[in-house]
Structure 1
Amino acid sequence: MNSADLGRRVGVPSTALFTDQYELTMVQAALKAGTADRRSVFEAFTRRLPEGRRYGVVAGTGRVLDAVENFHFDDEMLAFLRDQRVVDTATVDWLADYRFRGDIWGYPEGEVYFPGSPLLRVEGTFAECVLLETVILSILNHDSAIAAAASRMSSAASGRNLIEMGARRTHELSAVAASRAAYIGGFHTTSDLAAGFRYNIPTVGTSAHAFTLLHDSERDAFRAQVDSLGRDTTLLVDTYDVAEAVRTAVEIAGPELGAVRIDSGDLLLVAHRVRQQLDELGATETKIVVTSDLDEYAIASLAAAPVDAYGVGTQLVTGSGHPTCSMVYKLVARAESADPGEPLLPVAKKSLGAKTSRGGRKWAARRTDAYGVAEAEVIGTGEVPADLVDRQLQTELVRGGEVVAREPLEAARDRHVTARAGLPMSAMQLSRGEPVLPTEYV
């Protein structure tokens, strides 16, 4: 396994200020009260799935591990906190030596989840765990939202290639994370070179309308592209007249033309016409790529069209209408003192409304029926029932502050294929519905 398989982490900056101020002020108050070193358990979970979604997809775990590993305060950060009086001098001195030295367990990346699933369990002292809340949630909420949208699009595409091309529709750093999450969710390639460099995701891309408009004629543009990139390139054929462009493309590249891309118009109708024209011109192996503000519904509507690949941008990197998963990070258990071996007591928020939570250090397992199809997400505290021991979902990620579970991105991608295949068939329906699995607490 080489470094490219795991993602290039060289030059990763500290993540310590990717946090909210109240994380630090809580530490200050806990240090003063003598409660900062109490053994604590935090869990990340979501109380509900985005409206109409039937399952969620865990993504961002690998980035969380990097963030935890790089969560430390340098001299410049400490000076900022001191000068701005964010926290007092004693807390700044404590932060100077901060490294997470606890344990983290969680659902492996690519796994599916449901309401209440304890996706990440962080254990250590209160102070060291609470500081990680914001950065963990920002990563998991973003990446899991993108992966869920990608998974739905992948299901709708039924094996046809999917190209992630949303870099220009989001923040430049979010674009890289979105590409990674989309790859886990089932996309095959990305147009974003930073994502290709950092995560070894295959990259693709040829030309835009500007390249055609640069030249004196469409023929000149196609000739220049084929001369430079070869006959197996993808030519964009909807700058002017599609039928004329297809004819010109095949004249220049011959039947070896790799693909044509359609970016506007009635994609269903145009794709059928282009396929017929390509076949009549002898370019029977030339592929058709469609783009133009696609989402999972548009992809599904093109199921009967002779389309070989879909390029998706805006709707993907914005979670196809659900840009966050509404995950939260809650204290669920803590000791009454900092003494070693002190037992953990369940704690939980008891407020009115939908924001209550369940206390206790939780395990999670997925029960299946006689055919091996998942039928319930089972969550509990204490002893795991014998029939669920081998079906537990959480894996060890960090032990004593050391990452123990890095894996190639391909592993997360393959895991998602397996996890999704293990759900009831109704999980693949795009129509709105309830979570495909009930959550049972025992």
Structure 2
Amino acid sequence: MNSADLGRRVGVPSTALFTDQYELTMVQAALRAGTADRRSVFEAFTRRLPEGRRYGVVAGTGRVLDAVENFHFDDEMLGFLRDQRIVDGPTVDWLADYRFSGDIWGYPEGEVYFPGSPLLRVEGTFAECVLLETVILSILNHDSAIAAAASRMSAAAGGRRLIEMGARRTHELSAVASARAAYIGGFHTTSDLAAGFRYNIPTVGTSAHAFTLLHDSERDAFQAQVDSLGRGTSLLVDTYDVTEAVRTAVEVAGPELGAVRIDSGDLLLVAHRVRQQLDELGATETKIVVTSDLDEYAIASLAAAPVDTYGVGTQLVTGSGHPTCSMVYKLVARARSADPADPLLPVVKKSLGAKSSRGGRKWAARRLDDDGVAEAEVIGSGEVPAELADRQVQVQLVKGGEVVGREPLEAARERHIAARAGLPMSAMQLSRGEPVLPTEYV
């Protein structure tokens, strides 16, 4: 397996300061109290899905593994912590030697999840596990939100191609992570070259309205693009008059024209008119690409239109109204000492209202009906019932501090397609509703 299969991880900086200050001050206090080395289990989960969502999508796991692997403090960082008196000298010395040495289990990337699903289980000493809280949540909350939106859009597209093109609508680093998450969720290509370089995602792109406006005529612009990129290129046809532009595009490129792109107007009506015109001009194989503030609802509304490809930007990289999954990272079990033989005791935060959680180191399994369709997310502590032993969802990702669960991005993408196909048909509905699977605790 070559480096391109796993994503280029060259030049990845330390992730140790991608954290909140209280993670470090907790370590300082625990070191002073003699409790920092107590064996502990933390779990990342969400208490509920975003309103109206039927399922969640796990994304960002590969980036989490990179973050854990690169979580270490260099001399400059340690100097900053010392000079700003964020933590005391003994804590700085402890951080200088920090490397995560525990175990991590979790839902594999691309898998679906539901309220209460133990998406990530981090085991080690209290100090080494608590430091990872913020960076883990930062990655999972963002990437899973984008992947869930992408999955809904993919389902709505019904097999038609999807282009991720939201780089200009979000932070430049978020754009790369968003393209990766969108690819897992079912998108086919991205316009973002950094995402293509880092994660080997197919990239696409031709021209914007500025290129047409640069030239003295639309014909000149089309001719320049075809001369440069070939007849299989995609020509943008709504800078001036769409009908005239389509006619000119076919005259310039011939019936071998790859595609035309429509970026404004009543897309349903315009797409039908453009398809009819292309066919009449003999360009029967020329594809139609539509863009312009699309989301899953707009894509679904175009199901009857002769559209071949959707380009989605703003709504995708903002999670289509839900930019976070509200995941939390909670201590669920700990020992009374650092002794490996000391048993783990369930612990739980006693909160009023919706912030309650369940203690104990948990497993998760997905129960299927007689037709092989998922019917429940089953979560428990202790022994796994025999009938669910081969339906467990979690896999080991880190063992003794070493990453063992890294995989090609294509594997996560394929897993999501299979996981979504294994859900009840109602999971594909865009109308508001409850999670498609109930969560059962045993």
Both structures adopt the same fold (TM-score exceeding 0.5)? yes
Equivalent position SS for 1:377:
strand
Alpha-carbon distance in structure 2 between the residues aligned to 1:171 and 1:340: 44
Equivalent position SS for 2:254:
helix
Kindly state the Cα deviation for residue 276 of structure 1 after the two structures are TM-superposed: 0.1
Equivalent position SS for 1:22:
helix
Alpha-carbon distance in structure 1 between the residues aligned to 2:356 and 2:403: 32
Q: Percent identity?
A: 92
Equivalent position SS for 1:225:
helix
Normalized against structure 2, the TM-score is what? 1.00
Alpha-carbon distance in structure 1 between the residues aligned to 2:68 and 2:341: 25
Aligned partner of 1:309 in structure 2 is 309
Kindly provide the CA deviation profile for residues 187-233 of structure 1, in whole angstroms up to 9, marking residues without a partner as x: 00000000000000000000000000000000000000000000000
Equivalent position SS for 1:66:
helix
Equivalent position SS for 2:122:
strand
Kindly state the Cα deviation for residue 19 of structure 1 after the two structures are TM-superposed: 0.1
Alpha-carbon distance in structure 2 between the residues aligned to 1:140 and 1:338: 29
Kindly state the Cα deviation for residue 368 of structure 1 after the two structures are TM-superposed: 0.5
Equivalent position SS for 1:398:
strand
Kindly provide the CA deviation profile for residues 93-130 of structure 1, in whole angstroms up to 9, marking residues without a partner as x: 00000000000000000000000000000000000000
Alpha-carbon distance in structure 1 between the residues aligned to 2:166 and 2:318: 9
Kindly provide the CA deviation profile for residues 388-435 of structure 1, in whole angstroms up to 9, marking residues without a partner as x: 000000000000000001110000000000000000000000000000
Structure 2 residues not aligned, in runs of 5+: none
Alignment of 1:137-176 (within 5 A): 137-176=137-176
Alpha-carbon distance in structure 1 between the residues aligned to 2:439 and 2:17: 35
Kindly state the Cα deviation for residue 67 of structure 1 after the two structures are TM-superposed: 0.1
Kindly state the Cα deviation for residue 87 of structure 1 after the two structures are TM-superposed: 0.3
Alpha-carbon distance in structure 2 between the residues aligned to 1:169 and 1:193: 15
Equivalent position SS for 2:348:
coil
Aligned partner of 1:266 in structure 2 is 266
Alpha-carbon distance in structure 2 between the residues aligned to 1:252 and 1:224: 10
Kindly state the Cα deviation for residue 340 of structure 1 after the two structures are TM-superposed: 2.1
Equivalent position SS for 2:177:
helix
Equivalent position SS for 2:121:
strand
Normalized against structure 1, the TM-score is what? 1.00
Aligned partner of 2:15 in structure 1 is 15
Alpha-carbon distance in structure 2 between the residues aligned to 1:263 and 1:341: 64
Equivalent position SS for 1:256:
coil
Alpha-carbon distance in structure 1 between the residues aligned to 2:202 and 2:308: 17
Aligned partner of 2:289 in structure 1 is 289
Equivalent position SS for 2:40:
strand
Equivalent position SS for 1:311:
strand
Alpha-carbon distance in structure 2 between the residues aligned to 1:149 and 1:11: 30
Kindly state the Cα deviation for residue 338 of structure 1 after the two structures are TM-superposed: 1.0
Kindly state the Cα deviation for residue 341 of structure 1 after the two structures are TM-superposed: 1.0
Alpha-carbon distance in structure 2 between the residues aligned to 1:256 and 1:374: 45
Equivalent position SS for 2:182:
helix
Kindly state the Cα deviation for residue 308 of structure 1 after the two structures are TM-superposed: 0.2
Equivalent position SS for 2:367:
strand
Alpha-carbon distance in structure 1 between the residues aligned to 2:67 and 2:202: 24
Equivalent position SS for 1:255:
coil
Kindly state the Cα deviation for residue 339 of structure 1 after the two structures are TM-superposed: 1.4
Alpha-carbon distance in structure 2 between the residues aligned to 1:70 and 1:341: 30
Equivalent position SS for 2:255:
helix
Alignment of 1:187-266 (within 5 A): 187-266=187-266
Alpha-carbon distance in structure 1 between the residues aligned to 2:309 and 2:28: 54
Alpha-carbon distance in structure 1 between the residues aligned to 2:354 and 2:430: 26
Alpha-carbon distance in structure 2 between the residues aligned to 1:223 and 1:341: 75
Equivalent position SS for 1:122:
strand
Alpha-carbon distance in structure 2 between the residues aligned to 1:17 and 1:170: 22
Alpha-carbon distance in structure 2 between the residues aligned to 1:252 and 1:211: 16
Alignment of 1:352-391 (within 5 A): 352-391=352-391
Kindly provide the CA deviation profile for residues 152-210 of structure 1, in whole angstroms up to 9, marking residues without a partner as x: 00000000000000000000000000000000000000000000000000000000000
Kindly state the Cα deviation for residue 260 of structure 1 after the two structures are TM-superposed: 0.1
Alpha-carbon distance in structure 2 between the residues aligned to 1:315 and 1:278: 30
Equivalent position SS for 1:176:
helix
Alpha-carbon distance in structure 2 between the residues aligned to 1:105 and 1:339: 22
Alignment of 1:52-67 (within 5 A): 52-67=52-67
Kindly state the Cα deviation for residue 303 of structure 1 after the two structures are TM-superposed: 0.1
Alpha-carbon distance in structure 1 between the residues aligned to 2:185 and 2:419: 11
Equivalent position SS for 2:431:
coil
Alpha-carbon distance in structure 2 between the residues aligned to 1:180 and 1:248: 37
Is 308-317 or 337-346 further displaced after alignment?
Answer: 337-346
Equivalent position SS for 1:174:
helix
Kindly provide the CA deviation profile for residues 224-253 of structure 1, in whole angstroms up to 9, marking residues without a partner as x: 000000000000000000000000000000
Kindly state the Cα deviation for residue 271 of structure 1 after the two structures are TM-superposed: 0.1
Alpha-carbon distance in structure 2 between the residues aligned to 1:377 and 1:307: 37
Kindly provide the CA deviation profile for residues 23-76 of structure 1, in whole angstroms up to 9, marking residues without a partner as x: 000000000000000000000000000001000000000000000000000000
Alpha-carbon distance in structure 1 between the residues aligned to 2:24 and 2:369: 47
Alpha-carbon distance in structure 2 between the residues aligned to 1:309 and 1:168: 20
Kindly state the Cα deviation for residue 351 of structure 1 after the two structures are TM-superposed: 1.1
Equivalent position SS for 2:396:
strand
Alignment of 1:96-111 (within 5 A): 96-111=96-111
Kindly provide the CA deviation profile for residues 310-366 of structure 1, in whole angstroms up to 9, marking residues without a partner as x: 000000000000000000000000000111211000000011111011000000000
Alpha-carbon distance in structure 2 between the residues aligned to 1:339 and 1:190: 50
